[in-house]
Every structure is written in C-alpha cells, then in structure tokens.
Amino acid sequence: MTQTSTDKTQDALGAIKVQLDATEGGSVVRDSVKRHYENLERLAAGLRKLGIDDREVGENITQVFHEYERELTNYIASR
C-alpha cells in the first residue's frame, strides 16, 4: 500500500513528538516543548492550506524541529 502525502506529514510530526516527549527538564522546558510541537502542527496545517506538497511540508517541519532541538540542547546544557 502506498503512503499518502498526508501520512508522510503525520509520520514526520509523530517522529518529532516522540523525540520531544523524551526531552528531560523541568516544567519550563516541558512547557516550551509542548508549545513548540503545537506550533509545528499549526505550521504544517498552514503550509498544506497554501498548497505545499505534504512531502515538502514534512521536510520543512523536520528542518525547523532540528533547529529547535539544537537550541533546546544548548539551553539544557547551559543550566
């Protein structure tokens, strides 16, 4: 069975959520992680509404996530 483009975006969001859920830290970090994930969901929905292919949407939200992940890692390391 072929995966639909919407499935690909959901797969990307699901993989990101698993990584974010594994983030350790206090309530400030957990709140930030939750907000970031919600923002990624809104970004994905907005990009799809603009007619951007779901493959590209998945790639873009994954790229944004990796940038956030680097910043979060630096923040946690500095504490």
Domain that holds residue 51: 5-17+26-77
pTM for the model? 0.71
Indicate whether 35 pLDDT > 80.
yes
Res 8: pLDDT:
76
Cα 3–Cα 53–Cα 51 angle in degrees, nearest 5: 135
Average pLDDT on 32-40 reads 88
What is the rounded distance in angstroms from the CA atom of residue 56 to the CA atom of residue 30? Answer: 28
Residues of the chain above pLDDT 70, percent: 92
Counted domains in the chain:
1
Residues of the chain above pLDDT 90, percent: 33
